[in-house]
Amino acid sequence: MDWPLFWEWIIKSLVLIITFLVGFGYLTYYERRFLARLQSRLGPNRAGPWGLMQWMADAVKLIFKEELIPARAYKLVFFLAPVITMVPSIVIAAVIPWGPSVQVFGRTVTQSVANVNVGVLFLMSIASIAVYGIVLAGWSSNNKYAMMGGLRSSAQMISYELTLGLSMVIAILLGNSMSLVEIVEAQRDGWFILVQPVGMIIFWIATIAEVNRHPFDMPEAEQEIVAGYHIEYSGMKFALFFMAEYQKMIAVSAILATLFLGGYLGPGIDSFPWLGPVYMLIKIFVMLGIMIWVRASWPRIRYDRLMSFGWKVLLPLALTVVFITAVGILLAQEVNPWLMWLIPILSLLAGWFATLMVDRAIRRKNYA
C-alpha cells in the first residue's frame, strides 16, 4: 500500500471537513450580516470583533441546550436523520477540484480529495441522498407538520433533481467529460457561462430548490408548517440540520463555480497553482451573496406553483437547452466552429420565450 498516498487522503479530507465546518460558521455570520444590510440593519456585531465570534456563541448555546425527543417518535430514525442529512453535504464536496496539481515535498498532489472520472454522476447521486434525511426526520418525528415538511421536501427535490441533472448534462456536453477536473480545464478558452448562460441560470434555480433555500424553502415554510421537518428537533440535532443546509449551500456554490464559472481558473493560475482555492472561494462567496440577496428580496412562491414551475417551465426549458447545446456542438464540429455561438443565442431565445410564457400565465385573469 502506498502509505504517503493514504496520509495525503486523510490530510486532504481533514482540511476539507474543517474548511466546511468553519465555513458553515462564517457563512451564518455572512448571511446574517449581509441580510441585515439588505434590510437596513447592522446584524450581529457584539460577540468578538465585528461579531465574528457570534457563530461560536451560537454553537455553544446549541450544544448545551436541552434535547427533547418526542415520546412517540421512532427513536433510532429520529436520531439518525440529522446525520444522514449532514454527511452527504460534506461528502459531496469531495470531488470538487480546488486548484491544479501542486508540488508538496516532491510529490504531485491534486487539490481535490478524489478525482473521480464520473465526478458529475457522483455529485448527482450524493445530492439525492440528502433528501432521505429530511424525509426520515419528518416521518420519525410523529408530527403532522414535520411529516408535511418532509413530504414537500421529497416532492420538491425529486422534481427539481431532473432539471438539475439536465443542466449538469449541459456542462458535461460542453466539457466533453464527466470528470470535474476536465470540465474545469475545458473552460480555459471561456467559461461555460458565456457559452450557456441560460443553462447556468437553470442550474442555479434548480440548486436553490434542491438545498431548500428561499424562495423555494417550502419544506420549512415558517408561516405554513411552522418549521417543517425539523420542528421536533432541538439542541445539537437541530444544529446538524442547520449545518447541513448551509454546507449544502457552500457545496452547490462550489459546484456551480466548477461547472459554469471556470472553477479554480483565473489570471495567473498556471504560475501560482495555490491561487486556485482563492479563486474558488471568491466565486463561492459571490454566489452565496446572490443567494442571500435573493432571500432578502423575493417572497416564497406557493407550493402548487413551485411544482408547476418545476415541471412545466424549468424541465422543458432544460430539455430544450440541452438539445440546443448538443446540436450546436455537433454543428461546430462538423460544419464551422463559429456555429458554436448559435448555442448562447438560441438558448437565450428559448429562455426569453419561457419567461414570456410565465409572464402571460401570471397575468392571466383567472390565474389563482
Partner 1 sequence: MLKELGRGLLTTFKMVIEGPVTTQYPEEKREVRPRFRGRHVLKRYENGLEKCIGCSLCAAACPADAIFVEASENTDEERFSPGERFASTYEINMLRCIYCGFCEDACPTEAIVLGDNYELSFTDRHDAIYTKDSLLEGVPSSEMTTPQKVEPGVFTRSVPEMQDPQD
Query: Which residues contact partner 1 (rule: CB under 8 A)?
Result: 36-42, 293-294, 296-298, 355, 358-359, 362
Closest CA to 114 of 82, 89, 91: 91
**C-alpha distances in Å from residue 52, one per residue of 30, 45, 49:** 9, 7, 6
Cα pseudo-dihedral 321, 350, 367, 210, rounded to 10? 30
| Cβ nearer to partner 1, comparing 71 with 362 | 362
Distance between CA 343 and CA 135 in Å, rounded?
39
Residue bearing cell 422534481? 159
Minimum distance, C-beta of residue 288 to partner 1, in the bound complex (Å)? 15
| Cβ nearer to partner 1, comparing 42 with 282 | 42
| Cβ nearer to partner 1, comparing 41 with 188 | 41
Residue 113, helix vs strand vs coil: coil
Please count the other Cβ atoms lying within 10 Å of the Cβ belonging to residue 329. Answer: 18
Minimum distance, C-beta of residue 37 to partner 1, in the bound complex (Å)? 5
Distance between CA 127 and CA 247 in Å, rounded?
12
| Cβ nearer to partner 1, comparing 208 with 244 | 208
Minimum distance, C-beta of residue 348 to partner 1, in the bound complex (Å)? 12
Residue bearing cell 458553515? 24
Distance between CA 312 and CA 280 in Å, rounded?
34
**C-alpha distances in Å from residue 264, one per residue of 84, 98, 170, 202, 322:** 29, 6, 19, 22, 25
| Cβ nearer to partner 1, comparing 301 with 331 | 301
Minimum distance, C-beta of residue 41 to partner 1, in the bound complex (Å)? 5
- Residue 151's contacts (CB-CB under 8 Å, 6 or more residues apart) are 135, 138
Minimum distance, C-beta of residue 206 to partner 1, in the bound complex (Å)? 17
Minimum distance, C-beta of residue 171 to partner 1, in the bound complex (Å)? 24
Beta bridge partners of 104: 107
| Cβ nearer to partner 1, comparing 42 with 158 | 42
Minimum distance, C-beta of residue 246 to partner 1, in the bound complex (Å)? 21
Minimum distance, C-beta of residue 150 to partner 1, in the bound complex (Å)? 29
Query: Cell triple for residue 351?
Result: 429562455
| Cβ nearer to partner 1, comparing 41 with 144 | 41
Residue 103, helix vs strand vs coil: strand
| Cβ nearer to partner 1, comparing 6 with 293 | 293
Pairing relationship of beta strands 107-109 and 102-104 according to DSSP bridges: antiparallel
